[in-house]
């Protein structure tokens, strides 16, 4: 077990990352902050379970994921609700939206409205740069399950973002 000072320092160092991770999972900043707040309370309670043999970041993110799941369990409808302005693939001219500079937000919104497990996997793999093996361990699922969810997530995102394929370079 790490000593208290080291633990506090680790926590403060990783707060920023945890907050960004939570925002990616929830899709908005206030909900992300709430998630991290609850995660902090749990982390304080579970401080002695962290023995330092795993990455602190993984440990903290695991708590954030657990809080995220509990939150979804309590508020399932809110979590599954899709925002009104997610890209409509039948829109006449989706490139117009992209030109308006909304593509980046749209992509983020699409990621944050995937089914929870797919969302967790793709955020960890695509944005936190973890391998599927590590992501699977963090999420408490098998590696095959992680790969399947990743593939499903990519399929869903491809379907939703298909109208924008080819426009991405124009945004750079």
Q: Which residues bind other proteins (CB under 8 A)?
A: 4, 8, 11-12, 15-16, 19-20, 23-24, 27-29, 32-33, 36-38, 40-41, 44-49, 103-105, 107-108, 111-112, 122, 125-127, 131-132, 147, 150-152, 154-155, 157-158, 161, 164-166, 168-169, 171
Shortest spacing between CB 120 and other proteins, in angstroms: 14
Q: Which residues lie closer than 8 Å to 157 by C-beta, 6 or more apart? A: 107, 110, 111, 114, 122
CB closer to other proteins out of 42 and 55: 42
In order of 32, 61, 122, the CA distances from 65 in angstroms are: 11, 6, 13
Shortest spacing between CB 144 and other proteins, in angstroms: 9
Shortest spacing between CB 30 and other proteins, in angstroms: 9
Q: Which residues lie closer than 8 Å to 65 by C-beta, 6 or more apart? A: 25, 120, 138, 139
Shortest spacing between CB 169 and other proteins, in angstroms: 7
Other residues' Cβ atoms within 10 Å of the Cβ of residue 96: 10
In order of 27, 41, 50, 168, the CA distances from 45 in angstroms are: 27, 6, 11, 45
CB closer to other proteins out of 59 and 164: 164
Shortest spacing between CB 10 and other proteins, in angstroms: 11
Q: Which residues lie closer than 8 Å to 21 by C-beta, 6 or more apart? A: 61, 64, 123, 127, 128
């Amino acid at each position: 077990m790490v000593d208290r000072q080291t633990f506090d320092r680790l926590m403060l160092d990783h707060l920023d990352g945890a907050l960004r991770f939570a925002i990616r999972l929830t899709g908005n900043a206030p909900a992300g902050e709430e998630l991290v707040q609850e995660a902090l309370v749990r982390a304080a309670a579970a401080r002695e379970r962290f023995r330092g043999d795993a990455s602190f970041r993984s440990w903290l993110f695991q708590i954030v994921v657990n809080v995220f799941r509990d939150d979804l369990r309590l508020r399932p409808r809110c979590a599954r609700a899709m925002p009104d302005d997610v890209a409509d693939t039948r829109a006449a001219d989706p490139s117009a939206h992209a030109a308006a500079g909304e593509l980046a937000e749209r992509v983020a919104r699409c990621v944050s409205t995937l089914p929870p497990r797919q969302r967790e996997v793709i955020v960890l793999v695509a944005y936190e740069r973890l391998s599927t093996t590590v992501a699977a361990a963090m999420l408490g699922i098998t590696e095959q399950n992680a790969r399947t969810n990743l593939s499903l997530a990519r399929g869903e995102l491809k379907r939703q973002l298909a109208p924008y394929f080819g426009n991405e370079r124009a945004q750079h």
